[in-house]
């Protein structure tokens, strides 16, 4: 036997061990390829366009009043500042700042002991002047009676002087007698002239006394008026303002004691923008002033008039309260909703529906469509409350649906969906996915 025949049985097992793994790998690969070739082909996915979820609103054109939101300050032009009529001490101040009072309620009183002497002095001065007038009239009657007597005295003195002159010429009387008679005549004439002057100036003297009497009467009336004003009561139902004095304080004439605000005098002053002044002025001239409402309390107001002065920003409107509101205070700032003249075919939308200042998006066939609108102003509380606008667009009709969600990528043709949307007719559901997936 050869050597190769001896080695053959030893080498065959080694080759078998080498070929077996390769055979197994080949069989496995064949099975994998067979399985892969026989698997079912999966359906190819069709890409779907995304539909953006939005909120919508159905268009309902109607007649609405645009409103203008104003901010005004409460004022009271009927404010009464109580002042001291004379220098006196304060007897009583029963009210405090902020106290509501009824008509006739005592507000402040001065000490009557400081008021009465002023009245007494004025009464005494008037009585003295009336007595002087009576005396002057009595003297006038006496002067008239004495005038005739003084004329007789002058005539007698003239006769005596002439007699003494005749006697002196006949040396029956001395020159001293003539001079004495002349002096007597001069004295009588002086008395007569004085009496005539008193009678001639009587009317002037009487007028002067009467004028002084009238002035004294006016002083007495002022004193009595001040005495009445020393005790001040509320002229109407109202509110006590600032109180500047306390009981026992000494006040000077014209010193401020306290402020009083009648309820009926409260008004609101708010600046109306220049762009709306002409419309509002026309409504006032037509006798149909626009109504207004305080947003904080719901109190109704009435635009009474426009102020006589204007500024570059507008004109101040003066509003009257339609009912007494006891919570009002001077200087209080309130927000007011002023109703402008009504407009037809107005549509109420939230501010989020408006893009820019002049367009919104209508939803048609599941896509956005841009619509240009005319902005009319803000909507009142009766049309959805604050935060809503009034717009008008001829291309919008009742029943149209508009988007009220503010989308950053809103453009014409953008696909959208909304809650409550009817089933789609293009094989998609509300989420925009293929039906049945």
Using an 8 Å Cβ cutoff, are 304 and 320 in contact?
Answer: yes
**The CATH number of the domain where 168 resides is what?**
1.10.287
pLDDT interval class at 139 (50, 70, 90) = confident
CB 117, CB 183: distance < 8 Å:
no
Q: Quick check: helix, strand or coil at residue 202?
A: helix
Count: domains in the chain: 3
What range defines the domain where residue 392 resides?
Answer: 53-63+343-418
How many angstroms from the chain centroid is the CA of residue 392? 33
Q: Are residues 218 and 289 in the same domain?
A: no
Phi, psi dihedrals of residue 416, rounded to the nearest 5°: -140, 165
Contact 93, 108 (CB under 8 A): yes
pLDDT of residue 385: 61
Rounded Cα distance between 57 and 382, Å, is 18
CA-based torsion, 16, 19, 25, 27: positive or negative? negative
CA 161 to chain centre: 95
Same-domain status, 204 and 225: yes
Predicted local confidence at residue 46, as pLDDT: 64
pLDDT for the residue numbered 14: 65
Is position 17 within any domain?
no
Which residue shows structure tokens 């619509």? 371
Residue 235 above 90 pLDDT? yes
Task: Tell me if 112 is assigned to some domain.
Answer: yes
Pick the more confident residue, 418 or 45: 418
Residue 149 has pLDDT above 90, yes or no: no
- State which of 217, 233, 263 marks the end of a domain: 263
215 lies in some domain: yes
The pLDDT value recorded for residue 2 is: 46
Residues 227 and 84 in one domain: yes
Q: Are residues 174 and 297 in the same domain?
A: no
Give CA–CA dist 232/109, Å, rounded: 6
What value does the mean pLDDT take over residues 421-430?
A: 53
Q: Which of 345, 408, 339 is nearest to 373 (CA)?
A: 345
Cα–Cα distance list, 210 to 25, 57, 126, 130, 418 (Å): 150, 89, 10, 8, 98
User: For the residues 257-265, what does the mean pLDDT come to?
Assistant: 94
In-domain check, residue 244: yes
- Could you tell me the CATH number of the domain that includes residue 280? 2.40.30.170
One domain for residues 179 and 115 = yes
pLDDT for residue 52: 87
Does residue 430 belong to any structural domain of this protein? no
Segment 344-373 mean pLDDT: 90
Tell me: pLDDT of 178 over 50: yes
The last residue of one of the domains, among 263, 298, 314, is 263
Query: pLDDT tens digits, residue range 69-114?
Result: 899 999 999 999 999 998 999 999 998 999 999 999 999 999 999 9
Least confident of 110-119, 400-409, 424-433: 424-433
What is the 8-class DSSP label of residue 382?
G
How far is it, in rounded angstroms, from Cα 315 to Cα 337? Answer: 16
Distance CA 433, CA 413 (A): 18
- Assess if residue 12 is contained within a domain: no
- Cα–Cα dist 267/325, whole Å: 11
Query: Quick one: 283 and 356 in the same domain?
Result: no
Residue 259 and residue 301 in one domain: no
Q: Decide the pairing of beta strands 52-54 and 416-418.
A: parallel
User: Does residue 168 register a pLDDT over 80?
Assistant: no
Q: Which residues lie below 8 Å from residue 207, measured CB to CB, with a gap of 6+?
A: none
pLDDT confidence of 320, banded at 50, 70, 90?
very high
Q: What is the CATH number of the domain that holds 57?
A: 2.40.420.20
Same domain, 114 and 255: yes
Q: Mean of the pLDDT values across residues 199-221?
A: 88
- Give a yes or no: residue 169 inside a domain: yes
* Domain's final residue, options 263, 288, 319: 263
The pair of three-digit structure tokens given for residue 126, joined into one six-digit string: 């008037």
Tokens at residue 298, please?
């719901």
Q: Same structural domain for residues 229 and 89? A: yes
In this structure, the answer to whether residues 174 and 187 fall within a common structural domain is yes
Is the confidence at residue 375, as pLDDT, over 80? Answer: yes
pTM: 0.64
**What pLDDT, on the 0 to 100 scale, is given for residue 429?**
47
DSSP category for residue 92: E
The mean pLDDT of 378-405, rounded to a whole number, is 83
Residue 28: strand, helix, or coil:
helix
With respect to residue 140, please indicate whether it lies within any of the assigned structural domains: yes
The secondary structure of 109-142 as a DSSP string is EE-HHHHHHHHHHHHHHHHHHHHHHHHHHHHHHH
Q: What is the mean pLDDT of the chain?
A: 84
Q: Is the pLDDT of residue 436 over 50?
A: no
pLDDT of residue 42: 64
- Domain identity same for 411 and 274: no
Label residue 409 exposed, middle or buried (CB < 10 Å: 0-12, 13-18, 19+).
exposed
- 3-class DSSP state of 314: strand
Domain co-membership, 220 together with 314: no
């Amino acid at each position: 036997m050869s050597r190769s025949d001896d080695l053959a049985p030893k080498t065959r097992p080694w080759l078998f061990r080498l070929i077996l793994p390769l055979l197994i790998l080949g069989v496995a690969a064949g099975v994998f390829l067979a399985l892969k070739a026989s698997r079912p082909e999966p359906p190819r996915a069709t890409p779907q366009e995304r539909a953006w979820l939005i909120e919508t609103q159905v268009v309902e054109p109607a007649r609405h009043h645009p409103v203008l939101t104003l901010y005004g300050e409460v004022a009271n032009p009927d404010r009464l500042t109580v002042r001291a009529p004379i220098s006196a001490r304060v007897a009583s101040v029963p009210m405090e700042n902020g106290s509501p009072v009824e008509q006739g309620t005592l507000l402040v009183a001065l000490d009557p002991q400081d008021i009465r002497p002023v009245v007494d002095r004025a009464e005494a001065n008037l009585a003295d002047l009336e007595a002087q007038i009576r005396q002057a009239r009595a003297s006038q009657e006496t002067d008239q009676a004495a005038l005739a007597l003084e004329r007789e005295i002058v005539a007698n003195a003239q006769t005596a002087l002439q007699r003494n002159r005749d006697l002196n010429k006949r040396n029956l009387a001395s020159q001293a007698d003539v001079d004495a008679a002349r002096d007597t005549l001069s004295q009588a004439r002086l008395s007569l002239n004085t009496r005539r002057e008193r009678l001639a100036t009587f009317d002037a003297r009487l007028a002067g006394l009467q004028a002084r009497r009238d002035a004294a009467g006016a002083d007495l009336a002022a004193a009595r008026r001040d005495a009445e004003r020393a005790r001040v009561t509320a002229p109407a139902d109202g509110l006590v303002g600032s109180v500047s004095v306390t009981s026992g304080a000494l006040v000077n004439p014209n010193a401020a004691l306290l402020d009083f605000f009648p309820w009926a005098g409260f008004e609101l002053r708010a600046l109306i923008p220049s762009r709306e002044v002409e419309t509002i002025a026309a409504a006032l001239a037509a006798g149909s002033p626009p109504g207004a409402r305080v947003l904080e309390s719901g109190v109704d107001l009435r635009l009474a008039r426009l102020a006589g002065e204007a500024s570059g920003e507008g004109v101040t409107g003066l509003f009257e309260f339609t009912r007494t509101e006891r919570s009002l205070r001077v200087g209080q700032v309130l927000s007011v909703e002023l109703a402008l003249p009504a407009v037809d075919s107005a549509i109420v939308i939230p501010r989020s529906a408006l893009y820019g200042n002049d367009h919104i998006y209508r939803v048609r066939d599941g896509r956005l469509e841009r619509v240009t609108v005319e902005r009319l102003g803000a909507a009142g509380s009766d049309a959805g409350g604050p935060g809503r606008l009034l717009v008008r667009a001829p291309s919008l009709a009742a029943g149209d649906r508009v988007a009220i969600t503010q989308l950053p990528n809103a453009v014409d043709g953008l696909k959208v969906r909304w809650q409550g949307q009817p089933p789609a007719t293009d094989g998609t559901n509300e989420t925009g996915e293929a039906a049945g997936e």
